[in-house]
């Protein structure tokens, strides 16, 4: 399931973030890639634990945890702290699948990468190329969202970032371990939750709401891992 979450950050906030990123000291992006991914990864990245990455990452997580859409789709249990990257002309990240388990630097906690998330900080018209291509059950999807927007997609999917031919592409990315491991199960729960919310708005006294809500929670009880 691919999910677009619009306007996590306002245009003014994005402008401030982008200005800070333009002045940052970037490292080789290969430092957080696995063996196979490193051969395909050609970009720049803020080191783990970088103060700017921590500041922006904290804001991202706080806002997404306050987003009913994200919470319904991701059902988050744990998160790998967001990282920041930069693509300039000639940079790309070839086809790859994210490592199944990530361990933040300096932490004993491991995070299973059920879901990948990208937050865009560059407006699409300021750079050419740089599309995030994701292979899912409906074929290959190209994602190039407005600055401040978010895309959520399964960590199990093959994906890549197309070569940049003009401008700069700034983004944040991170992984979430969900309470529900399987993407198909999360998608069913997300669709059911959306239907319940719509029915609650349209027919708040409808007797089916109790049954539907009960079924949702019984499915969640069956599938959740805590």
Binding annotation: 96, 98, 159, 169
Q: Give Cβ neighbours of residue 87 (< 8 Å, ≥ 6 apart).
A: 43, 44, 93, 127, 130, 161, 164, 168, 169
CA nearest to 72, candidates 144, 22, 3: 3
Extract the annotated binding site for 2-oxoglutarate: 169
Distance between CA atoms of 140 and 92, rounded to whole angstroms?
Answer: 17
Tokens of 178: 């969900």
Neighbours of 22 (CB within 10 A): 10
CA nearest to 98, candidates 34, 172, 45: 34
DSSP reduced 3-state for 154: strand
Extract the annotated binding site for Fe cation: 96, 98, 159
3-state DSSP percent of the chain in helix, strand and coil, to 5: 35, 30, 35
Taking the CA atoms of residue 185, residue 191, residue 192 and residue 195 in that order, the dihedral angle to the nearest 10 degrees is: 180
Neighbours of 31 (CB within 10 A): 13
Give the C-alpha distances (Å, rounded to integers) separating 217 from 75, 82, 210, 223, 226: 13, 30, 11, 10, 15
């Amino acid at each position: 399931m691919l999910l677009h979450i619009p306007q996590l950050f306002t245009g003014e906030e994005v402008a401030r973030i982008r200005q800070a990123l333009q002045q940052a000291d970037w490292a080789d992006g290969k430092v957080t890639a696995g063996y196979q991914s490193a051969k395909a990864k050609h970009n720049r990245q803020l080191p783990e634990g970088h103060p700017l990455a921590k500041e922006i990452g904290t804001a991202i997580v706080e806002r997404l945890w306050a987003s009913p859409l994200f919470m319904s789709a991701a059902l988050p249990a744990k998160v790998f702290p967001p990282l920041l990257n930069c693509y300039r002309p000639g940079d790309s990240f070839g086809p790859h699948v994210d490592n199944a388990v990530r361990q933040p630097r300096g932490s004993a906690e491991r995070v299973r990468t059920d879901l990948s998330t990208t937050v865009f900080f560059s407006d699409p018209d300021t750079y050419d190329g740089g599309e995030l291509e994701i292979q899912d059950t409906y074929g290959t999807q190209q994602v190039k969202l407005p600055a401040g927007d978010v895309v959520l997609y399964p960590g199990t999917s093959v994906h890549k970032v197309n070569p940049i031919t003009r401008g700069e592409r700034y983004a944040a990315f991170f992984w979430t371990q969900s309470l529900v491991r399987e993407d198909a199960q999360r998608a069913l729960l997300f669709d059911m939750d959306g239907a319940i919310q719509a029915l609650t708005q349209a027919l708040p006294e409808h007797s089916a709401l109790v049954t539907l809500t009960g079924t949702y929670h019984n499915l969640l009880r069956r599938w959740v891992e805590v």
